């Protein structure tokens, strides 16, 4: 065998071996993705992820995403970042905004390897929706849409997995078409209107500014995410109470939280003959006094069991727990735990904390 022939065969063998590592992976951004390389090593080669890579570098997350993991990364394409309000990306990439950038990015990362089959199975087991907590403390809702998987973020934004199961040496990447945002995300703040800024630096809720000089009802009626809660408060005759001096702390479930109750539950509660039950459920979300998220966190961390236990005006018991991510979860008497997705929405007569589940008394 000639030297040239041996060289040619060796070259072909090496190339074939390299291709074998990528042959089961889809191409991403015009580049081969190698299962024996880590998330960063592959992502830098994708022409569709240059913004994501720049953001990961700016946030100082390169070493993290090159570590052993495993991780699941939902990776937005450049077009997803470009679709954010003008100036958002540039603002997030400023050194003074590294904490905000880190939160946005880690809301795309799970601390485990979850392939599309695993996610689909969890969606099926969850009767059509599976809630996933990310390393950034954000909670995503995974659903099936035909053969595709969608992810709903805490602002109601929906991303579709366009390329699934890009296997990595330290996890898996799923390409998505939308940036997933935490509640009251910096991206939203960057696009906030002057009216929102005049609201005493309160976060937006349900697409509306919340004004610290207005009462709980006056603000709640403007939130597109709380129309069911407002209707329930009106049906229960609690409007005057929640407009009174207080102060009150209200854990406010979103429309999606009510929708997640067993079918027919809300309609039944809104019937006139069930008014007493409705009042009990609603007042199990109201605490006398103004309790900030910082106070919930302080009390929980100071307790011997890791929980801050307190009673609502209905007499129902609630407990607050702080997760390692810093997220605050509220437990009801039925043992359900729901995340405070938007905290410290200050009111003239108290404070609202948005929660992603309905707190049920026994």
pLDDT value for 190? 39
pLDDT, one tens digit per residue, over 204-232 is 888 888 889 899 999 999 999 999 999 99
pLDDT value for 4? 44
- Residue 100 placed within a domain: yes
Residue 5: band (very low, low, confident or very high) from pLDDT cuts 50, 70, 90: very low
143 and 113 share a domain?
yes
258 and 109 share a domain?
no
Structure tokens at 219: 């603000």
pLDDT value for 146? 85
Peptide bond into 247 cis (omega under 30): yes
CA distance 164 to 172: 9
**Greater pLDDT, 107 or 1:** 107
123 and 272 share a domain?
no
Q: pTM (2 decimals)?
A: 0.51
**Greater pLDDT, 199 or 235:** 235
348 and 213 share a domain?
yes
pLDDT(186) > 60: no
76 and 133 share a domain?
yes
152 and 238 share a domain?
no
pLDDT, one tens digit per residue, over 31-86 is 999 999 999 999 999 999 999 999 999 999 999 999 988 999 999 999 999 998 88
Can you name the residues that pair with 145 across neighbouring β-strands? 148
205 and 267 share a domain?
yes
pLDDT(196) > 90: no
- Residue 83 placed within a domain: yes
pLDDT value for 23? 52
- Residue 4 placed within a domain: no
41 and 143 share a domain?
yes
Mean pLDDT of 84-112: 90
pLDDT value for 198? 40
pLDDT value for 188? 42
CA distance 9 to 351: 72
215 and 168 share a domain?
no
pLDDT value for 97? 87
Burial letters 142-168, b for 16+ CB under 10 A, else e = bbeeeeebbbbbbbbebbebbbbbbbb
DSSP E strands, the chain: 71-76, 109-110, 130-133, 139-145, 148-152, 158-168, 171-176, 248-253, 286-288, 307-311, 317-322, 328-331, 337-347, 350-355
pLDDT(7) > 70: no
167 and 207 share a domain?
no
343 and 222 share a domain?
yes
Task: Supply the DSSP symbol for 327.
Answer: -
Total domains in the fold of the chain: 2
The domain of 335 spans 195-355
pLDDT-above-90 percentage for the chain: 67
Residue 126 CA, chain-centre distance (Å), reads: 17
The mean-pLDDT minimum among 12-26, 94-108, 289-303 falls in 12-26
- Residue 96 placed within a domain: yes
199 and 345 share a domain?
yes
User: How many residues belong to the chain?
Assistant: 362
CATH number of the domain encompassing residue 274: 2.30.180.10
């Amino acid at each position: 065998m000639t030297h040239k022939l041996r060289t040619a065969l060796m070259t072909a063998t090496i190339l074939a071996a390299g291709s074998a590592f990528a042959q089961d992976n889809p191409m991403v951004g015009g580049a081969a993705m190698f299962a024996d390389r880590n998330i960063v090593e592959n992502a830098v080669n994708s022409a569709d992820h240059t913004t994501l890579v720049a953001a990961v570098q700016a946030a100082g997350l390169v070493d993290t995403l090159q570590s052993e993991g495993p991780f699941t990364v939902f990776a937005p394409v450049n077009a997803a970042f470009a679709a954010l309000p003008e100036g958002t990306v540039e603002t997030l990439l400023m050194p003074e905004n590294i904490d905000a950038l880190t939160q946005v990015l880690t809301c795309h990362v799970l601390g485990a390897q979850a392939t599309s089959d695993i996610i689909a199975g969890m969606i099926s087991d969850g009767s059509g929706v599976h809630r996933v907590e990310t390393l950034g403390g954000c909670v995503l809702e995974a659903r099936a849409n035909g053969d595709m998987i969608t992810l709903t973020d805490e602002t109601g934004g929906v991303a579709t997995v366009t390329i699934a199961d890009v296997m990595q040496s330290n996890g898996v990447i799923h390409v998505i078409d939308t940036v997933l945002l935490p509640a009251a995300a910096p991206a939203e703040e960057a696009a906030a209107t002057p009216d929102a800024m005049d609201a005493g630096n309160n976060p937006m809720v349900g697409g509306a500014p919340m004004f610290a000089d207005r009462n709980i009802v006056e603000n709640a009626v403007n939130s597109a995410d709380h129309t069911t809660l407002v209707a329930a408060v009106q049906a229960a005759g609690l409007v005057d109470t929640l407009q009174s001096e207080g102060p009150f702390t209200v854990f406010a479930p979103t429309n999606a939280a009510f929708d997640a109750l067993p079918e027919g539950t809300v309609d039944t509660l809104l019937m006139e003959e069930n008014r007493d039950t409705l009042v009990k459920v609603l007042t199990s979300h109201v605490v006398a006094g103004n309790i900030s998220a910082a106070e919930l966190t302080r009390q929980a961390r100071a307790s011997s069991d890791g929980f801050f236990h307190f009673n609502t005006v209905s007499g129902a018991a609630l407990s607050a727990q702080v997760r390692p991510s810093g997220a605050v979860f509220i437990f009801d008497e039925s043992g359900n735990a729901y995340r405070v997705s938007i905290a410290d929405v200050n009111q003239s007569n108290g404070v609202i904390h948005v929660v992603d589940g309905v707190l049920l008394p026994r």
